[in-house]
Structure 1
Amino acid sequence: MPMNRGQFVISMDFELYWGLRDICPISHYLGHSAKEREIIPKVLNLFEDSGIHATWATVGLMFFESKEQMLQGLPSRLPAYQDVNLSPYPHLTSDGVGTDEQTDSSHYGLSLIRRIERTRYQRVSTHTFSHYYCLEAGQDSAEFQADLRAAVQIAKSQGIQLESIVFPRNQVNPAYLPLLLPEGVRAYRGNPEHWLYKRGYSTGDSLLRRALRLMDTYLNLSGFHSYTLESPKRGEPVNLPASHFLRSYSGKLALLEPLRRRRILRGMTYAARNKQVYHLWCHPYNLVDERGSNLKLLEEIVAHYKKLQSLYGMESRNMEELSDQILGAVPARERQIMLGPMEWSKEANA
């Protein structure tokens, strides 16, 4: 689908400790990553002041006000991962989760969700209810559907309509995509087609794959992954693939920082010149480091976007706005076929 201008998209995977629970102890999170709560207001101010439209894909378990409420809002079916460590539910029902956000800021995030919701140009979307892994062995589509419905329900109870999804660890399961539209989810963040990224991330990824991804952060091994918009397949939401991951700052690789910065800015420039989409993503905790280097890099990225806006008319769009742009460009009859009768009826009556 041809575009008149390049599009700059930012999506944030907002998960607190729920997204790190299976790979690091809570002590590590509290000692470092928990400072993301201080970073988020700074990022929101930067985005609002600079006109940056962003999507914040948020784990559903963070929406609750208390543990009692959380236990009452669990999905009707829980994931049966072969690796039981992947499931957060034993952690939830033990003493691993406190009673509310005041006593446990690592698991509850409603105050920050409200802050995001109040900030201009920002949208709250879903990162699934439980940080659900769609490609891990043992789980199935019925369990994912129950998880998704629980996420939609808790967001709705807080007055938030979920319209897009980011799959945890970027594990996009094509078989699950038709389950999204009936729940009102019209867009998802897909993966680049390159073999390094196509199937997302997993703790079982080979050392070679991980090493090449790290190298690709600094050297353009796989391409810019910018793209033109495409209409969705029938019965599936709009795919807005990621272009680049804003990885955490590494002091050990500090000498390579100019290469990392150049890699991102060149990708943005390429997209702006060629009227394509550049989709940057990260977790808020990726912006945490003692020197503030990654937050400074984000500020430079935003400043470069403003330059590209002036030179080439590049626009900032969140995932929801860009999916609306795609669907709005499709003739009504074709859109009805793509969305299916149920979702088309919702749109027609909106």
Structure 2
Amino acid sequence: MSTVGSVVLSIDAELGWGFHDLESPPTDRVENARRGWNTLLDLLERYSVPATWAVVGHLMLADCDGEHADHPAPPGWFDRERTTWADRPDLRFGPELIEAVLESPVEHELASHSYSHVLFGDSRTTRTLADAELERAVGLASQWGLELTSFVYPRNDVGHREALADHGFRTYRGKNPHLEGMYRILESAIVDRSLLVRPSIDEYGLVDIPASLFLFGFEGRYRRLLESVWGDPMVRTACRGIDQAVDGDDDQVCHLWLHPNNLTGPRDDERMAAILAYLEQQRQETDLRVETMAEIGERCIGTRPSLKSTVS
């Protein structure tokens, strides 16, 4: 058996849809969503790193009436699209951005992040609503000639896994088993807790690939303070996870994730460039694999007996 693990990078690609239900969306991230998308895609091409781009289905549209009368969403769900963002197609649609991902020389995976960023774990999200979100996302992808097999839950709010299986999905990003942000950095550095996770097959036959590290979970003044003394702690932590994957076994994964809108300026670009450069270096010098969620899923299902299933 191989004694080397793998690294997966999943990307929550949503433009305005990640914030449309919030009373006060973060302006810097909203306004830099497209800039971050293009910058991240360029960086991935520079270092030849494939990623799983989990895209909100509505971005595949070129236009719409903003009403969505046949969608069983709760009242007011599409209000911002019809009102304050009615004249912001740049936040609501993104076919040219998706085309850029598909046309990249790097073999990225296009995955789903639902149709309109509905929270699947919310008690108000019925099976009917979950089905509608998945049906629309899968249908739009089919119009593009694409088959979706991986799913990233909006805000990592896991729910209705049986609906995923019924709509043909095979993998999803599960919740990080540990705390995020500063706690994750301290846990990794001080306690030396591993960032590696093991995919498992759940009771619906889906491959759960838990998150390891959110690459922008440590921001604000504490980030600036630590950067001034020790350099970027998130780069250190991500590189530690990559090293652990090099020393891991075939079933272990370092699953890094972020949103394109996390890249709001040069400091954020530098963080991603440093992480990707180190990942590429380790891939060149070792047997480390960089895989998409779909590739992990195919490999796990193909070796089903060797994985610990969640079936009780």
TM-score (ref. length: structure 2) = 0.85
The CA deviation at 1:234 is 4.5
Answer yes or no: is the 8 Å Cα contact 1:218–1:256 preserved in 2.
Answer: no
SS in structure 1 opposite 2:187?
coil
Counterpart in the other structure of 1:285: 261
The CA deviation at 1:98 is 3.3
- Taking the aligned partners of 2:120 and 2:29, their CA distance within structure 1 comes to 28
Answer yes or no: is the 8 Å Cα contact 2:196–2:241 preserved in 1.
Answer: yes
Paired residues, number: 296
User: Structure 1 256/23 Cα, relative in aligned 2: closer, same or farther at 3 Å?
Assistant: farther
The yes-or-no answer on 1:98 pairing with 2:67 is no
The yes-or-no answer on 1:162 pairing with 2:138 is no
The CA deviation at 1:282 is 0.6
Answer yes or no: is the 8 Å Cα contact 1:13–1:56 preserved in 2.
Answer: yes
2:196 corresponds to which letter in structure 1? Answer: S
1:88-167 alignment to 2 at 5 Å? 88-92=77-81, 94-98=82-86, 104-119=89-104, 120-167=106-153
Answer yes or no: is the 8 Å Cα contact 2:109–2:294 preserved in 1.
Answer: yes
One of 248, 251, 270 as aligned partner of 1:296 = 270
Counterpart in the other structure of 2:15: 16
The CA deviation at 1:89 is 2.2
- Taking the aligned partners of 2:70 and 2:51, their CA distance within structure 1 comes to 28
Answer yes or no: is the 8 Å Cα contact 1:192–1:225 preserved in 2.
Answer: no
1:24-39 alignment to 2 at 5 Å? 25=24, 28-29=26-27, 32-39=29-36
- Taking the aligned partners of 2:168 and 2:210, their CA distance within structure 1 comes to 19
Return structure 1 stretches of 4+ with deviation > 3 angstroms.
70-75, 96-99, 221-225, 248-251
1:91 corresponds to which letter in structure 2? Answer: R
2:43 corresponds to which letter in structure 1? Answer: L
- Taking the aligned partners of 1:33 and 1:138, their CA distance within structure 2 comes to 26
The CA deviation at 1:243 is 0.2
- Taking the aligned partners of 2:181 and 2:218, their CA distance within structure 1 comes to 12
The yes-or-no answer on 1:180 pairing with 2:139 is no
Structure number with higher helix proportion: 1
SS in structure 1 opposite 2:181?
helix
One of 202, 212, 233 as aligned partner of 1:233 = 202
Answer yes or no: is the 8 Å Cα contact 1:73–1:150 preserved in 2.
Answer: no
SS in structure 2 opposite 1:12?
strand
User: Structure 1 74/110 Cα, relative in aligned 2: closer, same or farther at 3 Å?
Assistant: farther
The yes-or-no answer on 1:312 pairing with 2:286 is yes
2:253 corresponds to which letter in structure 1? Answer: V
The CA deviation at 1:96 is 3.5
User: Structure 1 312/67 Cα, relative in aligned 2: closer, same or farther at 3 Å?
Assistant: same
Answer yes or no: is the 8 Å Cα contact 2:67–2:78 preserved in 1.
Answer: no
User: Structure 1 3/36 Cα, relative in aligned 2: closer, same or farther at 3 Å?
Assistant: farther
Deviations 1:77-123 (A, max 9, x none): 22x4xxx6xx632333x334437xxx520111111011111112212
Answer yes or no: is the 8 Å Cα contact 1:18–1:88 preserved in 2.
Answer: no
1:75-90 alignment to 2 at 5 Å? 75=71, 77-78=72-73, 80=74, 88-90=77-79
- Taking the aligned partners of 2:35 and 2:177, their CA distance within structure 1 comes to 35
SS in structure 2 opposite 1:270?
helix
1:266-285 alignment to 2 at 5 Å? 266-275=240-249, 276-285=252-261
2:21 corresponds to which letter in structure 1? Answer: D
SS in structure 1 opposite 2:91?
coil
Deviations 1:109-158 (A, max 9, x none): 11101111111221211111110112223222222112111111122122
Counterpart in the other structure of 1:348: none
1:159 corresponds to which letter in structure 2? Answer: G
RCO higher in 1 or 2 (8 Å CA, sep ≥ 6)?
2
Counterpart in the other structure of 2:55: 58
Counterpart in the other structure of 1:200: none
Q: Which moved more, 1:119-128 or 1:242-251?
A: 242-251
List gaps (5 residues or longer) in structure 2. Answer: none
One of 178, 186, 189 as aligned partner of 2:173 = 189
- Taking the aligned partners of 1:250 and 1:132, their CA distance within structure 2 comes to 26
1:263 corresponds to which letter in structure 2? Answer: T
The yes-or-no answer on 1:246 pairing with 2:215 is yes
Deviations 1:30-60 (A, max 9, x none): x553223123223222212322110111111
Counterpart in the other structure of 1:49: 46
Q: Which moved more, 1:14-23 or 1:164-173?
A: 14-23
- Taking the aligned partners of 1:15 and 1:105, their CA distance within structure 2 comes to 11
TM-score (ref. length: structure 1) = 0.76
